[in-house]
Amino acid sequence: MAPPEKKDELTWMHVLVRVFLNSTTHPIEYAKVLIQLGHEPLKPYKSRTVFGREAFYYPSVFSYIVHIKNRDGFFGCYRGLGAKLTANIVSGIAFQRVTESIKFQEFDDDVIEVENLTIKERTQRFLQNTSRETAGRAAAILVSQPFHVIAVRCMAEFVGEEGKYTGIFTAVGIIYKEQGVKGFFCGLIPRLLCDLTALWLGKTLAHIINNYLLEDRDLKQYVSASMNFLASAMTYPLQVVANCMAVSGSGLAAGSPPNMPIFSGWMDCYSHLRQIRGLKRGSSMLWRPFTGPTMMMGGSLEIPSSSMFSTPSVS
């Protein structure tokens, strides 16, 4: 086991790497959040599916970033970065502190050879490690949620150009004044469910496959990453719900009609998004299918406009 000084050094190095990566990829995350909120300022274009059928697609996330830059400039692509980095740092520290404080008597040594354990011992080790990570992630999400809400709302201001959330301290005052303490935890439940469900689903599938279905050690090393990706894809709709709930009822244009209904709860939000086929918003960066209404006109697929249904004026 590494000495305390070395562990602290590694922890802060990990935090700095996360800060760098999050800063670099923030424009992509920014555009993704706006897409999850349902804001689509770019017109769809007509293309074809792999089966040759006509379909409409929204421009890629990178075209979306160019649109943001053209309107708000280079630094406009980093709206909400400060609150997002604060959330990541706070969550990282909370995760580390909680997981380090939870100790188990058995199978808690990093030098244990998993291959030498029985199936029962591997299962017990899996349950212990996953339970510890669950506690760490739950604590991380809980303490970082206020900063996550601020970050999402800062990004959401792109829609209505309100300019209310000019900084973290200003945002704290606005949220507390308008919504009280509960305003800092909007979207907490679906965010917790998304993260913890993905954690257990991914690790459980990997445990079952590696211990009951696979024998090749070379293949086993790829299973964990594959199952985590699958679990994240399956729980992605809850991420969309969490971000929508962080903005709904905030008074911002992005979270108010006609852009977004005022939801009574996260289940109401989930039902609405499922009805309009919006649960997968932002899940693809390149080929983003248009989910709005379409119609056939003259043998060609078109997006209906209000002018098609307007009553001609009588002179």
Does the bond joining 258 to the residue before it have cis omega, within 30 degrees of 0? yes
Amino acid at 152: V
What per-residue confidence (pLDDT) applies to 309? 46
What per-residue confidence (pLDDT) applies to 315? 39
Nearest of 260, 90, 73, 88 to residue 159 by alpha carbon: 260
Nearest of 232, 246, 227 to residue 182 by alpha carbon: 246
Tens of pLDDT, residue by residue over 52-65, are: 788 889 999 999 99
Angle, helices 81-101/119-160, rounded to nearest 10 degrees: 160
Stretches in the chain below the pLDDT threshold 50: 1, 309, 313-315
Tens of pLDDT, residue by residue over 281-303, are: 999 998 898 887 777 676 676 77
Amino acid at 282: G
What per-residue confidence (pLDDT) applies to 313? 47
Residue 174, CA distances (Å) to 107, 178, 188, 260, 268 in order: 48, 6, 19, 21, 25
What per-residue confidence (pLDDT) applies to 143? 97
User: Environment class of residue 259 by beta-carbon count within 10 Å: exposed (0-12), middle (13-18) or buried (19+)?
Assistant: middle
Our separate counts of H helices and E strands in the chain read 8, 5
What per-residue confidence (pLDDT) applies to 34? 97
Q: How many CB atoms lie within 10 A of CB 121?
A: 14
What per-residue confidence (pLDDT) applies to 3? 57
Tens of pLDDT, residue by residue over 105-161, are: 766 656 666 677 788 888 898 999 999 999 999 999 999 999 999 999 999 999 999
The string over 208-232, giving b where at least 16 C-beta atoms fall within 10 Å of a residue's C-beta and e elsewhere, is ebbbeeeeeeeebeebbeebbeebb
Q: Return d(Cα 155, Cα 164) in angstroms, integer.
A: 11
Q: Which residue reads 């086929």 in tokens?
A: 277
Task: Show me where the domains of the chain are located.
Answer: 4-292
User: What is the second-level CATH architecture of the domain 4-292?
Assistant: Alpha/alpha barrel (1.50)
What per-residue confidence (pLDDT) applies to 55? 85
